[in-house]
């Protein structure tokens, strides 16, 4: 089997799927790319069993057909250093040797039979919809940071997706913070919900900025898989099992204390003051009165202390409330609006953080943070 492919084109497509590969996998074959040549197309595939990504590359010079698994790390490191130009691949399927030449160099590497590479499962009777890549990117970017890391609660290590006749809702929480993103441009006839794993969402976040065409999504709760297809790439992922927490129950509805403040001013202040907080609790104190926002942090073990005063529009009872500065900073960093609105009821109840004004009328964003005891 022999084919010629442009180095930059191959490297671009392998880079798009390389993040799926896990080193030291229990199945050593999964440390390889699967190269499949059929007709005038080369399909490159990477998998960790739960997530499979493939990209199709059109070829102009091909001899033979077949599939072979090639070492991913070796190939990527070599391609990265090769000069611009064509790369000639010659694969001996009998002796399992891969030879490729580029410029004045010739490189040999072992390869493995393609039939040893696990086949991606089929999605049976899927539901489907198309989504604008910018909408999908925003839904992923706004929620991914809030996913949990506790392996004892695996369902919180992903992002809940709810589809209905009214909107698409994406929710993530780690029990300290929660994000709910909604977009009314996406809807389905029947209500359906499933939990998306973090790894494929991270792949989408990395790839979607360069995508201009609509993304086709197919999902099946019966076979527990979801498929994203865009341009020449297909991403297939297993859905997470388990029941997502009842997130609506933790969102407070009666919040009589409201602060409207410039997001960047608050974020910069928290970054500075947070340096002086205890490195075990990251606790900061926010004191709210009619015209001022007082932010303070201290670490008594090291005699560190910092205070800042900001201006903001506050309506409600004077209040002192504590937050984990790290979590509050993450929330503010993942918002776009010039001003944010903090809605609170009591110092021991969850606080809502929302854009003061939604810039995109078809979407809504709600973030929640749990307070810490002062």
List the beta strands (DSSP E) in 48-104. Answer: 51-58, 61-63, 66-71, 86-92, 97-102
User: DSSP letter at 132?
Assistant: -
| 364/142 Cα distance (integer angstroms) | 11
Backbone angles phi, psi at 112, to 5 degrees: -135, 155
Q: Name the CATH architecture for the domain at 127-248.
A: Roll (3.10)
Does the pLDDT of residue 359 top 90, yes or no? no
Its CATH class, for the domain covering 251-369, is alpha beta
Percent of the chain at pLDDT above 70?
A: 100
How buried is residue 43: exposed, middle or buried, by Cβ count under 10 Å (0-12/13-18/19+)? Answer: middle
Mean pLDDT (the chain) is: 95
| 314/325 Cα distance (integer angstroms) | 20
Residue from 368, 223, 346 nearest 288 by CA: 346
Tokens 């191959």, located at residue: 10
Residue 94, pLDDT score? 84
Does the pLDDT of residue 223 top 80, yes or no? yes
C-alpha distances in Å from residue 32, one per residue of 16, 53, 201: 15, 13, 22
Least confident of 75-79, 102-106, 177-181: 102-106
Tokens of 164: 């209905």
CB atoms within 10 A of CB 227: 20
Residue 15, pLDDT score? 97
Residue 93, pLDDT score? 82
Angle between helices 7-18 and 72-81 (to 10 degrees): 140
Residue 358, pLDDT score? 86
Give the mean model confidence (pLDDT) for residues 169-182: 97
Does the pLDDT of residue 92 top 90, yes or no? no
Residue 52, pLDDT score? 97
CATH number of 2-116: 3.10.150.10
Angle between helices 7-18 and 198-207 (to 10 degrees): 150
Give the mean model confidence (pLDDT) for residues 145-159: 94
Q: With beta carbons less than 8 A apart as the criterion, state whether 75 and 109 touch.
A: yes
Res. 83 pLDDT band, cuts 50 70 90:
very high
Three-class SS of residue 356?
A: coil
Residue 124, pLDDT score? 86
How much is the pTM? 0.93
Ordered by start, the domain boundaries in the chain are: 2-116, 127-248, 251-369
Angle between helices 198-207 and 133-144 (to 10 degrees): 130
C-alpha distances in Å from residue 87, one per residue of 8, 37, 146: 10, 15, 42
Does the pLDDT of residue 24 top 90, yes or no? no
Does the pLDDT of residue 25 top 90, yes or no? no
Residue from 231, 134, 229, 240 nearest 193 by CA: 240
Q: With beta carbons less than 8 A apart as the criterion, state whether 97 and 199 touch.
A: no
Residue 23, pLDDT score? 82
Angle between helices 325-333 and 263-274 (to 10 degrees): 150
Res. 165 pLDDT band, cuts 50 70 90:
very high
Tokens of 41: 């197309």
| 41/59 Cα distance (integer angstroms) | 6
Give the mean model confidence (pLDDT) for residues 51-66: 95
Give 309-349 pLDDT, tens digit per residue: 999 999 999 999 999 999 999 999 999 999 999 999 999 99
- Maximum Cα–Cα distance for the chain, whole Å? 79
CB atoms within 10 A of CB 23: 8
Give 245-265 pLDDT, tens digit per residue: 999 999 999 999 999 999 999
Residue 110, pLDDT score? 92
């Amino acid at each position: 089997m022999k084919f010629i492919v442009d180095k930059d084109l191959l490297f671009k497509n392998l880079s798009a799927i390389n993040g799926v590969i896990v080193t030291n996998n229990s199945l050593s074959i999964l440390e390889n790319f699967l190269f499949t040549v059929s007709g005038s197309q080369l399909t490159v595939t990477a998998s960790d069993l739960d997530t499979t990504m493939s990209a199709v590359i059109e070829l102009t010079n091909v001899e033979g057909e077949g599939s072979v698994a090639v070492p991913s790390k070796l190939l990527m490191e070599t391609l990265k250093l090769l000069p611009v130009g064509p790369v000639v691949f010659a694969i001996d399927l009998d002796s399992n040797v891969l030879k490729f030449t580029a410029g004045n160099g010739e490189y040999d590497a072992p390869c493995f039979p393609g039939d040893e590479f696990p086949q991606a499962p089929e999605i049976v009777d899927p539901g489907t919809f198309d989504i604008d890549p910018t909408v999908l990117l925003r839904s992923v970017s706004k929620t991914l940071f809030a996913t949990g890391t506790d392996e004892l609660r695996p369902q919180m290590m992903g992002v809940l997706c709810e589809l209905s006749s009214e909107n698409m809702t994406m929710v993530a929480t780690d029990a300290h913070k929660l994000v709910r993103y909604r977009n009314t441009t996406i809807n389905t006839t029947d209500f359906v919900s499933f939990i998306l794993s973090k790894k494929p969402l991270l792949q989408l976040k990395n790839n979607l900025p360069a995508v201009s065409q609509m993304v086709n999504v197919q999902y099946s709760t019966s076979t527990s898989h979801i498929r994203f297809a865009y341009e020449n790439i297909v991403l297939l992922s297993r859905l997470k099992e388990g029941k997502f927490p009842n997130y609506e129950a933790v969102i407070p509805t009666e919040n009589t204390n409201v602060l409207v403040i410039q997001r960047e001013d608050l974020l910069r202040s928290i970054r500075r003051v947070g340096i002086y907080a205890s490195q075990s609790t990251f606790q900061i104190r926010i004191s709210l009165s009619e015209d001022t926002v007082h932010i303070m942090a201290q670490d008594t073990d090291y005699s560190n202390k910092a205070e800042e005063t900001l201006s903001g529009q506050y309506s409600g009872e004077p209040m002192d409330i504590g937050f984990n500065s790290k979590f509050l900073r993450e929330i503010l960093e993942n918002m776009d609006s010039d001003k944010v609105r903090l809605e609170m009821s009591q110092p021991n109840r969850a606080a809502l953080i929302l854009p003061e004004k939604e810039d995109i009328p078809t979407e809504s964003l709600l973030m929640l943070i749990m307070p810490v005891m002062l």
